[in-house]
Amino acid sequence: MKKTVLTFAEAKEQGEKLTMLTAYDYSTAKLIDGAGIDAILVGDSLGNVMLGYEDTLSVTVEDMIHHGAAVSRGAKEALVVIDMPFMSYQTSVYDAVVNAGRLMKEGRAGAVKLEGGRAVCPQIKAITDAGIPVMAHLGLTPQSINAFGGFKVQGKTEAAAKKLVEDAMAVQEAGAFALTLECVPDKLARLITSKLAIPTIGIGAGNGCDGQVLVYADMLGMFSDFTPKFVRRFAETGQVMTDAFKAYIAAVKDGSYPEEKHTYKIDDDVIEKLY
């Protein structure tokens, strides 16, 4: 059965943990979906993981539609959430609604995600009023990396923690159906989770959130540019791939691949006429 924002609300009500992983292409989405995940996030981390940028700032709405549509084709049951990229919603409420609409119409998302607190509440309200579910994102919001001065844990001082709590309440009030909390101390994330009626999805925010999200390439050990402290590698797929690539190169070089069983046949009398 297709998972929706109602799945998120029910899970919070019943105290069941929600699961989310990123994906950026059809085949990976199909595998993750088949494993029984609740939601797939087409994160703008695609800028780092798929496109090789050093941050997420250069990712465009077109990039998100292109990859989002592929993921949507692969996800039969999971809720697909597509990230709104940098400057696709900060500029105005109008831009936010138009771009969220494109992610739904062209990317076939079930919801969109955007970063920020009170400053983007008018956008969250307008997008939600247009019938588009919004997941909010607070804490370390990578689109503000230049304002933060680097990838740092957020909400550690009293003032910063108070602001995070207020922002969390504000995005819920504006209509967000869920909230991603990234790189937030676990006790603060637990407090915010207890105050909110909507589910929190943590990444580097401890075990007290209503669910968890990870970048799939991180948890599979496929992305080695940097590995945040909160990542558990559930497999060493990067090593498995490297070994397979090396085995392929060796087999082609020594002629052991392709074998007879990998080839197509033609009648000998056809071939003989060509000599």
Residues that bind ligand KIV (CB under 6 A): 22, 41, 43-45, 83, 180, 182, 203, 213, 215
Which of these is catalytic: 54, 106, 182, 259?
182
Distances in whole angstroms, Cα of residue 190 to Cα of each of 22, 199, 207, 216, 230: 23, 11, 8, 24, 16
Complex with ligand KIV: residue 185 or 211, whichever CB lies closer: 211
CB of 211 to ligand KIV, least distance (A): 11
- CA 204, distance to chain mean position in Å, is 14
Query: Which pairing describes strands 111-115 and 134-139: parallel, antiparallel, or unpaired?
Result: parallel
* C-alpha span between 2 and 235 (Å, rounded): 28
CA angle 82, 85, 91 (to 5 degrees): 125
Could you say which DSSP state residue 257 is in? S
One-letter amino acid of 253: K
Label the pairing between strands 39-42 and 211-214. unpaired
CB of 116 to ligand KIV, least distance (A): 12
CB 61 within 8 A of CB 26: no
Told to judge if 182 belongs to the known catalytic residues of this protein, a careful annotator would answer yes
Compare residues 33 and 44 and give the one whose CB is closer to ligand KIV.
44
**Is the CB of 112 or the CB of 188 nearer to ligand KIV?**
112
To ligand KIV, the closest distance from the beta carbon of 257 in angstroms equals: 37
Residue 115: CB minimum distance to ligand KIV, A? 8
| Nearest to ligand KIV of 13, 184 (CB atom) | 184
Is residue 127 a contact partner of residue 112, using CB atoms and an 8 Å limit? yes
Q: CB nearest ligand KIV: which residue?
A: 43
Would you name the residues annotated as active-site residues? Answer: 182
